[in-house]
Structure 1
Amino acid sequence: MKLSNSFLRKWRFLLLLFVALLVVNLSHVQASDKSPPEDWQLQGMWAALDDSDPNVWSEAMKKMSEYDFKPVVEIPSERVEQIGKLLRDRNWRVRAAAATAIGQMGSEAKQFIPQLLQLFRDDNWRVVIQAATTVGKIGSEDKELIPQLQQLFKDENWRVRAAAVTAVGEMGSEARQFIPQLQQLLKDKNSDVLRAAATAVGNLGWEAKQFIPQLQQLLQDKNSDVRYAAAIIADEMGSEAVELIPQLQQLFSDRHSEVRYVAATAVGDMGWEAIELIPQLLKLSRDRHIRVRFAVIKTMSEIEWETQQFIPELEKLFSDEDAGVRRAAAWAMGEMRSETAKQFIPQLQQLFKDKDDRVRASATSAVGNLESEVKQLIPQLQQLFKDEDERVRAAAASAVDNLGSEAKQFIPQLQQLFKDEDERVRAAAASAVGNLGSEAKQFIPQLQQLFKDEDERVRAAAVLAVSNLESEAKKLIPQLLGLLNDENSEVRETTAKVLGEIGKFNTQQILQILNATHRNREQEAGLRFLAYFTSGGESNTITLIQWLGSPKRYPDQINNFREERSISREEGNKVLEIFADAWPNTENLEYLRPELKAQINKVVKKVNWQPEDITLLNKHYNNLEDEDIKAKIDALQTIE
Structure 2
Amino acid sequence: MHLHIIKKRSSPYFLFPFTLLLILLLALPGVSAKEQPKLKPEAWQINGIVAALNDGYDAVKKLAFGKFNEYDLKNFKSVVQKPEDIAQKVLNILKDKTVEPYVLSGAASALGNLGEAAKPYVKDIADILKDKTVDSRVRSGAASALGNLGEAAKPYVKDIADILKDKTVDSRVRSGAASALGNLGEAAKPYVKDILDFLKDKTVDSGVRYSAASALGNLGEAAKPYIKDIADILKDKTVDSTVRRGAAVALGNLGKAAKPYIKDILDFLKDKSVNDRDRSGAAVALGNLGEAAKPYIKDIFDFLKDKSVDSTVRSNAAEALVNLGEAGKPYVKDILDFLKDKSVEPYVRSRAASALRNLGEAAKPYVKNIADILKDKTVDSNVRRGAALALENLGEAAKPYVKDILDFLKDKSVEPYVRSDAASALGNLGEAAKLYVKDIADIFKDKTVDLYVRRGAAVALGNLGEAAKPYIKDIFDFFKDKSVDLIVRFNAAEALGKIEQLNLNNIVVILDSIYYAGQLEFARWRFLTYFLSGGTDEVKTLLTWLGFPKTKTIPVSLSHDRGDKTLKIFAQVWEPSRDLERLQQDLAKQIAVVARKVHWQPQDIVILETHYNNLKNAGYNEADSLQSVIVNLKTWQWLFNARTIILIHATFWLALIFAYPKFPQVQAIFFWNPWVRRILGVGYVGLILTWVPFFREKLFEPFKPSLLADAGLDNFNPEAYFPNSKVKVPGVEEPVPITQVLPSIKGQVILEGDSGLGKSMFLRYLVKTSGRLVVYLPAHKCDKGVIEAIQAKLHGQAQDADFLKNLIYSGALDICIDGLNEVTADTRAKICQFAESYFRGNIIMTTQPLEWTPPSTAKIYKLLPLEEPQIQQFLISRQPRLPKNAKVQGTNYEQATASFLTKALSNQQSPQELTAIEKVLSNPMDLTVVALMLSQGEYPDLFHLQQHQYQLMAAEYLQEWNQEFPLKKFSDAVYQMRLNDEQALPVDEFYQVLQSLEDDKYKMVVSRQWKDEKGEAKREWYFRHDKIMDFFLVQNFLGESGEAKNRLLDHMDDPRFRGVYFLLATLLPLDAAKELKEKLVQYAADTKDHTVSDTFVQLLRPRS
Q: Which amino acid aligns with 2:109?
A: T
* Residues 432-471 of structure 1 mapped to structure 2, 5 A cutoff: 432-451=425-444, 452=447, 455-471=450-466
SS of residue paired to 1:153? helix
* Residues 157-556 of structure 1 mapped to structure 2, 5 A cutoff: 157=169, 158-189=171-202, 190=204, 191-221=206-236, 222-225=238-241, 226-245=243-262, 247-248=264-265, 250-251=267-268, 252-253=270-271, 255-258=273-276, 259-263=278-282, 266=285, 269=289, 275=295, 282=302, 286=306, 287-294=308-315, 337=325, 340-341=328-329, 345=333, 348=336, 352=340, 358=346, 369=359, 371-374=363-366, 377=369, 380-381=372-373, 383-384=375-376, 386-387=377-378, 389-417=380-408, 418-422=410-414, 423-451=416-444, 452=447, 455-485=450-480, 487-521=484-518, 522-553=520-551
Q: Which amino acid aligns with 2:385?
A: A
Q: Give distance in 2, aligned partners of 1:81 and 1:383.
A: 54
Cα deviation for residue 134 of structure 1 reads 0.4
Q: Which amino acid aligns with 1:527?
A: W
| Aligned counterpart in structure 1 of residue 574 of structure 2, from 566, 583, 595 | 583
Deviation sequence 1:49-76 (CA, Å, 0-9, x none): 3333333333333333324255555547
Q: 1:340 to 1:593 in 2, by over 3 A?
A: same
- Report which stretch shifted further, 399-408 or 586-595: 399-408
Q: Give distance in 2, aligned partners of 1:135 and 1:530.
A: 29
Cα deviation for residue 211 of structure 1 reads 0.9
Q: Which amino acid aligns with 1:288?
A: V
Deviation sequence 1:407-443 (CA, Å, 0-9, x none): 3433443443314223144224312321332343343
Check if 1:130 corresponds to 2:127: no
Q: Is the 8 A contact 1:245 1:274 kept in 2?
A: no
Q: 1:292 to 1:377 in 2, by over 3 A?
A: closer
Q: 1:122 to 1:390 in 2, by over 3 A?
A: same
| Aligned counterpart in structure 2 of residue 102 of structure 1, from 105, 111, 115 | 111
Q: Give distance in 2, aligned partners of 1:280 and 1:147.
A: 42
Q: Is the 8 A contact 1:129 1:166 kept in 2?
A: no
Q: Is the 8 A contact 2:304 2:315 kept in 1?
A: no
SS of residue paired to 1:608? coil
Cα deviation for residue 508 of structure 1 reads 0.4
Cα deviation for residue 217 of structure 1 reads 3.0
Deviation sequence 1:55-107 (CA, Å, 0-9, x none): 33333333333242555555476654432232234323320221122111342
Q: Give distance in 1, aligned partners of 2:207 and 2:349.
A: 41
Please state which structure has a larger fraction of its residues in helix.
Answer: 1
Q: Give distance in 2, aligned partners of 1:16 and 1:428.
A: 16
Q: Is the 8 A contact 1:18 1:196 kept in 2?
A: no
* Residues 14-25 of structure 1 mapped to structure 2, 5 A cutoff: 19=28
Cα deviation for residue 592 of structure 1 reads 1.6
Q: Which amino acid aligns with 2:155?
A: E
Q: 1:214 to 1:351 in 2, by over 3 A?
A: closer
| Aligned counterpart in structure 2 of residue 572 of structure 1, from 541, 563, 567 | 563
Q: Is the 8 A contact 1:47 1:537 kept in 2?
A: yes
Q: Is the 8 A contact 2:60 2:527 kept in 1?
A: yes
- Report which stretch shifted further, 500-509 or 601-610: 601-610
Check if 1:618 corresponds to 2:606: no
- Identity %, equivalent residues: 30
Q: Give distance in 2, aligned partners of 1:26 and 1:354.
A: 28
| Aligned counterpart in structure 1 of residue 583 of structure 2, from 579, 592, 596 | 592
Q: 1:421 to 1:380 in 2, by over 3 A?
A: closer
Q: Give distance in 2, aligned partners of 1:471 and 1:342.
A: 40
Q: Which has the higher contact order (CA 8 A, sep 6+)?
A: 1
Q: Give distance in 2, aligned partners of 1:114 and 1:403.
A: 43
SS of residue paired to 1:208? helix
TM-score (norm 1): 0.78
Q: Give distance in 2, aligned partners of 1:636 and 1:361.
A: 71
Q: Give distance in 2, aligned partners of 1:17 and 1:172.
A: 26
Q: Which amino acid aligns with 2:92?
A: K
Cα deviation for residue 509 of structure 1 reads 1.0
Larger radius of gyration: 2
Aligned to 1:93: 102
Q: Give distance in 2, aligned partners of 1:150 and 1:35.
A: 33
Aligned to 2:674: none
Q: 1:20 to 1:118 in 2, by over 3 A?
A: farther
Q: 1:615 to 1:153 in 2, by over 3 A?
A: closer
Cα deviation for residue 169 of structure 1 reads 1.7
Deviation sequence 1:443-474 (CA, Å, 0-9, x none): 33443344446644323322221232121232
Q: Give distance in 2, aligned partners of 1:379 and 1:570.
A: 63
Cα deviation for residue 135 of structure 1 reads 1.7
Q: 1:635 to 1:153 in 2, by over 3 A?
A: closer
Q: Give distance in 1, aligned partners of 2:351 and 2:249.
A: 27
- Report which stretch shifted further, 136-145 or 510-519: 136-145
Aligned to 1:82: 89
Q: 1:449 to 1:419 in 2, by over 3 A?
A: farther
Cα deviation for residue 199 of structure 1 reads 1.2
Cα deviation for residue 350 of structure 1 reads 9.1
Structure 1: gaps of 5 or more residues: 1-14, 300-331, 559-564
Q: 1:620 to 1:489 in 2, by over 3 A?
A: closer
Q: Give distance in 1, aligned partners of 2:530 and 2:435.
A: 32
Q: Give distance in 2, aligned partners of 1:256 and 1:357.
A: 21
Q: Give distance in 2, aligned partners of 1:336 and 1:579.
A: 58
Structure 2: gaps of 5 or more residues: 1-23, 617-622, 639-1104
Aligned to 1:329: none
Q: 1:566 to 1:260 in 2, by over 3 A?
A: closer
| Aligned counterpart in structure 2 of residue 151 of structure 1, from 162, 166, 183 | 162
Deviation sequence 1:188-225 (CA, Å, 0-9, x none): 12134432221111112244231133234323321233
Q: Give distance in 1, aligned partners of 2:472 and 2:179.
A: 42
Q: Give distance in 2, aligned partners of 1:217 and 1:355.
A: 38
Q: Which amino acid aligns with 1:141?
A: A
